[in-house]
C-alpha cells in the first residue's frame, strides 16, 4: 500500500475497520482473482472459482467457532434488521409466546417485529436505568413452553455485553451477535440460532451470517415467502439466488486473518487488552470521564462514556476529530462518546486514543 496514505484511527460503530492485510490482499486480487482474468465481483456465483471461496468461508467459520456438526452456516442478506422479522416469521406462530431479554435499542427493535407474528413478552428489561447492565441468570423468568428466548449479545449504543450465556434447556435460545461475534470464545451449542451482520466484526456490509441448528430449520413455518425461509437457504448452500459474492470473499479473508492471528482465544485476549487501555483511563480519571455501563457488564466492543462537562465534551469530540480519531461520537439517540474497538481495530489505535484522553484531561482540568 502507498506509504503516503495515512490510515485513520477508525472507531466507527459500523461499517467498521477491516484488517489492513485483508484490504491489501483484496487490492492485489481485485482485477485478476487467482488467475481467472476477472474480479471476484465478476465471477458467476455458480462457478467453481466462486464456490471454493464460498465453501472455504463456511469451513473457516465452523473451525474458528468449533461449530458442532448439527449446525449449518448460512449466508443471508438484509442485515440483522431483517432477522428481527425472519426469526418470528419462521418460529413464532399466532398465539405462541417468545421471551425477549431487553438490554438495549436493538432488543427493542427485535421485540417490535415479533409483535407482528405472535405474543412476545419481556423476560427482563432494565430500560428504566438506561440499559446500564446485563441481567444475572437468576433474573431471567421465562416459560418452558416458549417458542424461543431471544437476546442481544452486545449492545452497541449502551456499551454492555454478555460475558457468558444462560442455558435455557428445551427452550431454543436465539442470539443477535451482530456486534461481537468472534470477539471472545463462547459455546455455540447453547444456541438454536445465532445471527450476525458482518459489517462490525466479520467483513464489509451486505452479508449476514446465520448459524442454525438443523432441527430448528425443520421447525420453520412453511407458509411464508420462499426467500424468508431458513430452509430455502439451507437446501441451496446459501446459493438459492445470487449472494453478495464480494462480501463473502472479504468475510473469508477476515476469517483467514483471524486464524493466522491465533484464532478466537488469541483474539479474545487481544480485545481485552485493547478495551482495558481505554477503560483504565476512564476509571483513573477521578470522574472526569464517566462510563455508562456498570463495570461487570462492560463491552469489549463498544466503550461508551461521557465527559463530565457538556462544553468540555463538545471540545473533546472536536479535538479528537482533529487528531484523526473517527467515529467517537456516541449514538445520536444517547449522545456522549463511544469508541468501537471491534476485532479489526488495532491495539495501536486504542493506545493512541487512551493517550489522547489522558492528554485532554491533563490540559482541561
**DSSP assigned state of 294:** -
Comparing CA positions, the residue from 227, 197, 126 lying closest to residue 342 is: 197
Find the angle CA(254)-CA(53)-CA(211) to the nearest 5 degrees.
Answer: 65
Task: Identify the architecture of domain 24-260 in CATH.
Answer: 3-Layer(aba) Sandwich (3.40)
106 part of the active site: yes
Which residues, in sequence order, are CB contacts of 60 under 8 Å at separation 6+? 252, 255, 256, 259
Comparing CA positions, the residue from 257, 256, 320, 324 lying closest to residue 5 is: 324
Residue 155: C-alpha distances to residues 8, 75, 160, 273, 292 (Å):
24, 23, 5, 20, 12
At residue 224, φ and ψ (nearest 5 deg) are -135, 165
**C-alpha cell read off for 329:** 461520537
* Per-residue pLDDT, 114: 98
First and final CA of the chain: distance in angstroms?
41
* Rounded mean pLDDT for each run of 10 residues along the chain, 365 residues in total: 72 96 97 96 97 98 98 98 98 96 98 97 97 97 97 98 97 98 98 98 97 97 97 98 98 98 98 98 98 97 97 98 96 92 98 98 94
Strand partners, 325: 9
At residue 43, φ and ψ (nearest 5 deg) are -70, 145
257 part of the active site: no
Instruction: Reply yes or no on domain 263-363 having CATH 3.90.1150.10.
Output: yes
Comparing CA positions, the residue from 197, 199, 353 lying closest to residue 275 is: 353
* Per-residue pLDDT, 80: 97
Pairing mode of beta strands 208-213, 71-76: antiparallel
CB contact at 8 A, 56 and 252 = yes
> From the candidates 146, 162, 180, 200, which is the catalytic residue?
200
Domain residue spans of the chain: 24-260, 263-363
15: cis peptide before it, omega within 30°?
yes
Give dist(CA 98, CA 250) in Å, integer: 35
Q: Decide: pTM greater than 0.85.
A: yes
Which residues, in sequence order, are CB contacts of 347 under 8 Å at separation 6+? 270, 273, 274, 277
At residue 98, φ and ψ (nearest 5 deg) are -140, 140
Give dist(CA 296, CA 294) in Å, integer: 6
* Per-residue pLDDT, 4: 55
CB contact at 8 A, 75 and 61 = no
Q: Is the dihedral of CA 321, 326, 327, 330 positive or negative?
A: negative
Residue 217: C-alpha distances to residues 124, 252, 265, 275, 310 (Å):
27, 24, 30, 37, 50
* Per-residue pLDDT, 1: 43
Give dist(CA 313, CA 183) in Å, integer: 29
**DSSP assigned state of 305:** E
Give me the half-sphere count of Cα atoms (radius 13 Å) on the Cβ side of residue 363. 9
**C-alpha cell read off for 55:** 465453501
> From the candidates 162, 176, 229, 257, which is the catalytic residue?
176
Amino acid at each position: 500500500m502507498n506509504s503516503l496514505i495515512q490510515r485513520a484511527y477508525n472507531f466507527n460503530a459500523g461499517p467498521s475497520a477491516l484488517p489492513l492485510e485483508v484490504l491489501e490482499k483484496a487490492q492485489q486480487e481485485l482485477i485478476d482473482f487467482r488467475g481467472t482474468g476477472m474480479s471476484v465481483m465478476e465471477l458467476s456465483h455458480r462457478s467453481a472459482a466462486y464456490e471454493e471461496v464460498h465453501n472455504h468461508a463456511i469451513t473457516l467459520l465452523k473451525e474458528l467457532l468449533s461449530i458442532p456438526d448439527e449446525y449449518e452456516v448460512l449466508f443471508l442478506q438484509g442485515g440483522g434488521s431483517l432477522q428481527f422479522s425472519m426469526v418470528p416469521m419462521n418460529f413464532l406462530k399466532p398465539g405462541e409466546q417468545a421471551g425477549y431479554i431487553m438490554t438495549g435499542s436493538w432488543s427493542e427493535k427485535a421485540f417490535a417485529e415479533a409483535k407482528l407474528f405472535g405474543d412476545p413478552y419481556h423476560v427482563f428489561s432494565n430500560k428504566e436505568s438506561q440499559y446500564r447492565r446485563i441481567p444475572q441468570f437468576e433474573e431471567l423468568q421465562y416459560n418452558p413452553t416458549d417458542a424461543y428466548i431471544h437476546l442481544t449479545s452486545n449492545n452497541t449504543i449502551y456499551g454492555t455485553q454478555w460475558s457468558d450465556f444462560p442455558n435455557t434447556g428445551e427452550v431454543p435460545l436465539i442470539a443477535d451477535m451482530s456486534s461481537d461475534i468472534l470477539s471472545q470464545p463462547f459455546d455455540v451449542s447453547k444456541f438454536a440460532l445465532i445471527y450476525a451482520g458482518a459489517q462490525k466484526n466479520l467483513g464489509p456490509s451486505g452479508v449476514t451470517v446465520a448459524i442454525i441448528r438443523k432441527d430448528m430449520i425443520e421447525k420453520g413455518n412453511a407458509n411464508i415467502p420462499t426467500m424468508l425461509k431458513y430452509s430455502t437457504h439451507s437446501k441451496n448452500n446459501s446459493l438459492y439466488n445470487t449472494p453478495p459474492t464480494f462480501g463473502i470473499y472479504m468475510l473469508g479473508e477476515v476469517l483467514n486473518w483471524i486464524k493466522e492471528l491465533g484464532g478466537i482465544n488469541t483474539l479474545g485476549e487481544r480485545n481485552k487488552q485493547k478495551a482495558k487501555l481505554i477503560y483504565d483511563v476512564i476509571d483513573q480519571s477521578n470522574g472526569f470521564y464517566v462510563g455508562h455501563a456498570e463495570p461487570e457488564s462492560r463491552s469489549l466492543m463498544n466503550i461508551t462514556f461521557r465527559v463530565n462537562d457538556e462544553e468540555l465534551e463538545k471540545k473533546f469530540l472536536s479535538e479528537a476529530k482533529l487528531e484523526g480519531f473517527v467515529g467517537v461520537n456516541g449514538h445520536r439517540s444517547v449522545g456522549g462518546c463511544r469508541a468501537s474497538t471491534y476485532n479489526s481495530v488495532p491495539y495501536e489505535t486504542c493506545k493512541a486514543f487512551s493517550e489522547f484522553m489522558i492528554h485532554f484531561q491533563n490540559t482541561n482540568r
